[in-house]
Structure 1
């Protein structure tokens, strides 16, 4: 059975037309930017924007992209980062939590001993996670912050 042709043009045609249009537009931009005015007048083109815009528009676009990059990073950090006390940072039953006991050792069998979790503290995450582990484990958010940023609390607050 021969394959039926689609009733609407495929996306390859749209891409090719977009390629031709963008190439033609860029060629017109280059000609407008670099050709002298008498040559454009000889071609019959008398009305065109000031040449200042041939440098200003790309500069504005580059700075707009830089601004968007910085603004999105700031927005994500400022508004979309959840606080440590948020309900979304609590783990579920499928997690394999890596916790430390009161001596700073890795505690095994976390799923079976959920009652003991309150007694365990986050003592020295950096020395524990400087070594490799034999399993994939979820490090609590407080442990990640301590490894990344160090212990930021005063010694008198413990």
Structure 2
């Protein structure tokens, strides 16, 4: 019997403020801009995980509003569950994982990221959550 493929499950928070700006981090490990998030821990719920990751990477305490999309990196086998969120408390600041943490206008945010991450932001501004696949950079035809 063949071995069952292994997947990793991650969560990300698209935090949007009252001015409709979105919160982005610039990762320390690769310099890429993206919404805060990371690997879901065993025994951790989805919203609990996104709250933890956003706080660890930005300093903010958040409230999770709603699911905005599910994405799979077909190359690495990573499934990411993305939620639209709003800030409750805290001050953004660089962290061990984020070299920079910035509030950005939507157009600026989209221009900073590759397609596989930018779509997570634009999808958070829509009413219906999509499911999408990508190769780590570009969206693939199978959505």
Category of TM-score, reference length = shorter chain: under 0.3
Structure 1 or 2: more helix by fraction: 1
Structure 1 or 2: more strand by fraction: 2
Name which one, 1 or 2, has greater alpha-carbon Rg: 1
Q: Which has the higher contact order (CA 8 A, sep 6+)?
A: 2
If the length of structure 2 is used for normalisation, what is the TM-score?
0.25
If the length of structure 1 is used for normalisation, what is the TM-score?
0.23
